Amino acid sequence: MANDMILRPTNFDQLHVFAQTAAKSSMVPAQYRGKPEDIMLAVQMGSEVGLAPMQALQNIAIINGRPSLWGDAMLALCKMHPAWGGIKESIEGDGDKMRAVCAVDRKGDHQVLVTFGADDAKRAGLFGKAGPWQQYPKRMMQMRARGFALRDAFPDALRGLISVEEAQDIPPDGFRGTTITVAPEPVNTAPAPKRTVREIVRDRLVGCATTDEVAAVADDPIVAKALATAPDEIKEELNLMLGDAYARCSENEGSAAEPV
């Protein structure tokens, strides 16, 4: 019965109204206030992984322009998967030897075991970093190992979402690349060369299939004028081309008329 009370927009208009209302509320995280468009996309993304609208707004965070899930929400989504087989997490060692271990079981598949230790955090430039990595190093290593293990074991449940804890450690993308100035190729503004009468007649005769079509080419004003005023060698060439085409089409028409 409790699930029946969950507000779930079922079309674009309902989602739009919900987003406009939520954007004015202090109940939503600060990053969504006054941003109905971000709310719409977060709710849509949440619905794709199985989160109700308010759950999506509380558990999906936009870090450096990338949507991500809090580690506890990732675990909750995976636990709802029908193939969920359990999880075991532990912290081993101290200081530079400390490491988080996460083992995730998926029914019908192999166990995914991930460790993330102080040496991994150091290589990534995280260990001792100002903020949670100084205040809660065990928790941060636990979340990193958990995020990797859950993503490897249940990619179909998480749909490519990474943990907020991991996203926070990814530096903002400040890459702009090297600007390369390319001179545009010169545009040829010269007029296209005029086609000769020979070319016009030749191209039109290629598509002729009947003697009537050949006659239509001969009657074209441009061709007719050339046949009347062009030099004798051009007239002779044009007449030869027309004659060959007429003979070809006449032969084809005769063959088609013969009884089978």
CA neighbor of 49 nearest in space, from 158, 144, 128: 158
Task: Supply the pLDDT for residue 132.
Answer: 84
Task: Supply the pLDDT for residue 259.
Answer: 46
Tokens of 87: 């999880």
> Is the overall model pTM greater than 0.75, yes or no?
no
- Residue 134 exposed, middle or buried by CB count within 10 Å (0-12, 13-18, 19+): exposed
In angstroms, rounded to a whole number, what is the distance separating the alpha carbons of residues 161 and 113? 19
For the chain, the domains span 10-63, 70-159, 197-254
18 to 4, 9, 35, 238, 241: CA distances (angstroms): 17, 8, 12, 77, 75
Task: List beta partners, residue 163.
Answer: 69
Look at the block and give the residue holding tokens 């990814």.
Answer: 170
| Torsion, CA 165, CA 171, CA 174, CA 178, rounded to 10 | -130
Task: Supply the pLDDT for residue 146.
Answer: 93
Task: Supply the pLDDT for residue 133.
Answer: 86
- The CATH code of domain 70-159 reads 3.30.160
Residue 215 near residue 175 (C-beta atoms within 8 A):
no
DSSP string, 86-140: EEEEEEES-GGG-EEEEEEEETTSPPEEEEEEHHHHHHTT-TT-TTHHHH-HHHH
Taking 50 as the pLDDT cut, the residues of the chain under it are 1, 175, 258-260
